[in-house]
Amino acid sequence: QYYKEPFRPQFHFSPEKKWMNDPNGMLFYKGTYHLFYQYYPEDIVWGPMHWGHATSTDLIHWQHKKIALFPDQLGLIFSGSAVMDTYNTSGLGTKENPPMIAVFTYHNMEFEKAGKINTQTQGLAYSLDEGETWTKYQANPIINNTTLRDFRDPKVFWNNDTKLWNLVLVAGDRAQFYTSKNLINWNLESEFGQNKGAHGGVWECPDLFKLKINGTQEEKWVLLVSINPGAPNGGSATQYFVGDFDGKTFTTSQKEIKWVDYGTDNYAGVTYNNAPNGERIFLGWMSNWNYARDTPTTNWRSAMTLPRTLSLSTIKGDYVLQSQPVAQLDKQLSTDFSIEKIKLNKGTNKTFTYSNLNQSKIQFKAENKNLKLVFSNDANDLLVLHYDAQKQTFAIDRRLSGKVNFEKSFGEKIHSTPTPNLITKNIDFLIIMDWSSIEIFLNGGVYSFTEQIFPNQPYTKLTIQSVESQEIKNTTIQSVKRIW
Ligand code: FRU
């Protein structure tokens, strides 16, 4: 019975019950990945926010923990981050038992009701038992606000170049960068964003980190900024900027707008602090504010994306952020189905029948040519993916994919994305499908697409339609074991 309700993700993180949105406080410490999240324990729609908590040792299997942070007289607990204060710079623990520190946004409902603008401030809480129990700092808020309507989602990290703490938060149409010696007193150093990037909606959930460019020794800083609305296919999405950061100021020569994921359902994603081996691990909330409250699940709502490893490469002289599912997922796979080569003549199809594609990983290498993939079942649900090599676009059509009528925009349009960076002779397809999601990674995550789907029955057929003659290699379909 457990985790088997209709549409319940079988190998993605979802809360045991009730409403979840953004991932928060992602921190690796002593072999454990902590995941906190925006949580409303009373209903399956958004409400007074808490921080839920879960832990994992492999990023795949999760253990639910007690609620970490509850609203208090200063407000609801909105999104934020967590660090280990290893040298007890805050003085809130000891050197022997350093505090785990969470920095989050307080949203004051009383102020909001009274029509005040300055509803959002930043607060701090600490834990002396590895995240089990939390104490709010007695002199909250640590960053006050008197003038801004939107002022939230602090990401804190240790900057090893400057030996200072950094914090980045968003203030409406821009990001603000702060420094601190002790995680409590913060100095505003600079701002970034006016006239840069996408501004279809307010900026939310920033992150800032350094990555090495694949195959070089060069390092660049990546700034993530979620926006809602204003996504390429409607509603919520996460953009990124590649540039430089000297500990105080972020600069970039980037002109065009770049997105972490081009699907409709990857929002508010941020990365782990202190992940092992210098890895940059990302998790997003697999939903979209356009319909997050309306999806057809019953006693819980929404899930996280698969954890993904981020990397940076150069394509056509420009920086590209790539994302791929973490390698740990491989432990969940069987090798049910594998076929070496498929030759498809122009206009022909090849259909694979498989008991449950909604719990599978599909991989193949295709020529850089026109190709359609159709997922279907006996209920006549159809999910269509179309790579158009001439137009250089990748499209997802979920209009007939199953339940779509719970909200108008969900199944209204084909989601088409320009893919000018797919310049190789062959294209690697990686598709991971859970009961209510599809994640697609092209060429090692040069493009990724994450979308929710609600098929009336699991898809059991995958048809590859060649618009041109085509050779497809290394096809594998593997089932992914459930984690709950
Ligand atoms: C993003 C967001 C954040 C905010 C949180 C509230 O989805 O709007 O900006 O902190 O959700 O739950």
Active site residue 265: no
Query: Which residue among 77, 151, 152 has the greatest number of ligand 1 atoms within 8 angstroms of its CB, and so is best to mutate?
Result: 152
21 lines ligand 1 (CB under 6 A): yes
ipTM value of the model? 0.98
How far is residue 278 CA from its own chain's centroid? 19
50 lines ligand 1 (CB under 6 A): no
Minimum-distance ligand 1 atom for the alpha carbon of 236? 7
119 lines ligand 1 (CB under 6 A): no
Residue written as token pair 């992602």: 26
CA of 403 to the centre of ligand 1 (A): 26
CA of 267 to the centre of ligand 1 (A): 10
Are 325 and 266 in contact by the 8 Å Cβ rule? The answer is no
Query: Which residue among 45, 108, 204 has the greatest number of ligand 1 atoms within 8 angstroms of its CB, and so is best to mutate?
Result: 204
- Catalogue all structural domains in the chain, each as residue range(s) with its CATH number: 18-327 (2.115.10.20), 333-479 (2.60.120.560)
475 lines ligand 1 (CB under 6 A): no
CA of 78 to the centre of ligand 1 (A): 6
* Burial zone of 316 (CB within 10 Å; 0-12 exposed, 13-18 middle, 19+ buried): exposed
Nearest to 67 by CA among 110, 32, 28, 24: 24
204 lines ligand 1 (CB under 6 A): yes
Q: Which tokens is 380 given?
A: 């006549």
Are 273 and 27 in contact by the 8 Å Cβ rule? The answer is yes
For residue 78, what are the contacts with CB-CB under 8 A and spacing of at least 6? Answer: 38, 49, 104, 105, 106, 107, 120, 152, 153
79 lines ligand 1 (CB under 6 A): yes
Residue type for 350, please? Answer: K
Side-chain-side CA neighbours of 235 within 13 Å: the count stands at 23
Question: How many CB atoms within 10 Å of residue 232?
Answer: 18
Beta strands (DSSP E) in 316-359 are 318-325, 337-344, 349-353
Indicate left, alpha or beta for 59 from its phi (over 0: left) and psi (-120 to 50: alpha): left
Q: What is the pLDDT at residue 340? A: 80
Are 300 and 44 in contact by the 8 Å Cβ rule? The answer is yes
CA of 38 to the centre of ligand 1 (A): 8
Nearest to 445 by CA among 265, 303, 312: 312
Q: What is the pLDDT at residue 216? A: 96
40 lines ligand 1 (CB under 6 A): no
150 lines ligand 1 (CB under 6 A): no
Q: Which tokens is 413 given?
A: 């349009």
CA of 39 to the centre of ligand 1 (A): 11
- Residue 61 per-residue DSSP state: S
Residue written as token pair 């593997």: 478
Phi/psi at 117 (nearest 5 deg)? Answer: -85, -40
Q: What is the pLDDT at residue 167? A: 99
Minimum-distance ligand 1 atom for the alpha carbon of 22? 7
302 lines ligand 1 (CB under 6 A): no
Cα gap 135→372, rounded to integer Å: 54
Q: What is the pLDDT at residue 476? A: 92
CA of 268 to the centre of ligand 1 (A): 8
Minimum-distance ligand 1 atom for the alpha carbon of 150? 9
Whose C-alpha lies nearest to ligand 1, atom 8? 204
CA of 53 to the centre of ligand 1 (A): 17
For residue 220, what are the contacts with CB-CB under 8 A and spacing of at least 6? Answer: 210, 211, 213, 242, 243, 244, 312, 319
CA distances from 156 to 118, 166, 167, 246, 354 (A): 22, 6, 4, 16, 45
Nearest to 230 by CA among 201, 253, 251: 201
DSSP 109-125: HHHHHTT-S--EEEEEE
pLDDT tens over the chain, length 484 residues: 799 999 999 999 999 999 999 999 999 999 999 999 999 999 999 999 999 999 999 999 999 999 999 999 999 999 999 999 999 999 999 999 999 999 999 999 999 999 999 999 999 999 999 999 999 999 999 999 999 999 999 999 999 999 999 999 999 999 999 999 999 999 999 999 989 999 999 999 999 999 999 999 999 999 999 999 999 999 999 999 999 999 999 999 999 999 999 999 999 999 999 999 999 999 999 999 999 999 999 999 999 999 999 999 999 999 999 999 999 999 999 877 788 888 999 989 999 999 999 999 999 999 999 999 999 999 999 999 999 999 999 999 999 999 999 999 999 999 999 999 999 999 999 999 999 999 999 999 999 999 999 999 999 999 999 889 999 999 999 999 999 9
CA of 102 to the centre of ligand 1 (A): 16
22 lines ligand 1 (CB under 6 A): yes
Minimum-distance ligand 1 atom for the alpha carbon of 78? 10
Minimum-distance ligand 1 atom for the alpha carbon of 46? 12
- Residue 445 per-residue DSSP state: T
266 lines ligand 1 (CB under 6 A): no
